[in-house]
Amino acid sequence: MIQAVDVHFSYGKHQVLCGVSFDMKKGEYVCILGANGCGKTTLLKTMLGFQKPQKGRITLYGEDVHGMDERRMARKVAYIPQHHEPPFPFTVGDVVLLGRTPHLSRTCRPTANDRRIARDAMERLGIGQYADQCYTELSGGQRQMVIIARALAQQPDLLIMDEPTASLDYGNQYLVLAQMRKLSHEGMGVLMVTHDPDHALYCADRIVAMRDGRIVSMGGAREVVREDIMKKIYGMTIKVRDVGLSAGKNATVCIPVPDM
Domains, the chain, ordered by start: 2-257 (3.40.50.300)
Strand partners of residue 256: 238
Buried-exposed string 183-192: b where 16+ CB fall within 10 A, e elsewhere: bbeeebbbbb
Q: Considering only residues 185 and 248, tell me which one the structure prediction assigns the higher pLDDT.
A: 185
Is 239 exposed, middle or buried, given 0-12, 13-18 or 19+ CB atoms closer than 10 A? exposed
The pLDDT assigned to 105 comes to 78
Predicted pLDDT at 81 = 84
What pLDDT sits at residue 8?
A: 98
Alpha helices (H) in the chain, listed in sequence order: 40-47, 70-76, 92-97, 112-124, 140-153, 170-185, 197-203, 221-224, 227-234
pLDDT digits (tens, 9 = 90+) for 132-160: 999 989 888 888 889 989 999 999 999 99
**Considering only 21-35, 36-50, 205-219, 239-253, which range has the smallest mean pLDDT?**
239-253
Can you tell me the mean pLDDT for 48-69?
94
The pLDDT-based confidence of 175 (bands split at 50, 70, 90) is: confident
CB 59 within 8 A of CB 236: no
Lowest mean pLDDT among 60-74, 81-95, 212-226: 81-95
Packing angle between helix 140-153 and helix 112-124, nearest 10 degrees?
140
Which pLDDT band holds residue 240 (cuts at 50, 70, 90)?
very high
pLDDT value for 92: 96
pLDDT at 87: 64
* Rg, the chain, Cα only: 19
Mean pLDDT of 170-183: 88
Residue 65's contacts (CB-CB under 8 Å, 6 or more residues apart) are: 2, 47, 48, 49, 58, 59, 73
d(CA 23, CA 154): 22
> Which comes out higher in pLDDT, residue 253 or 175?
253
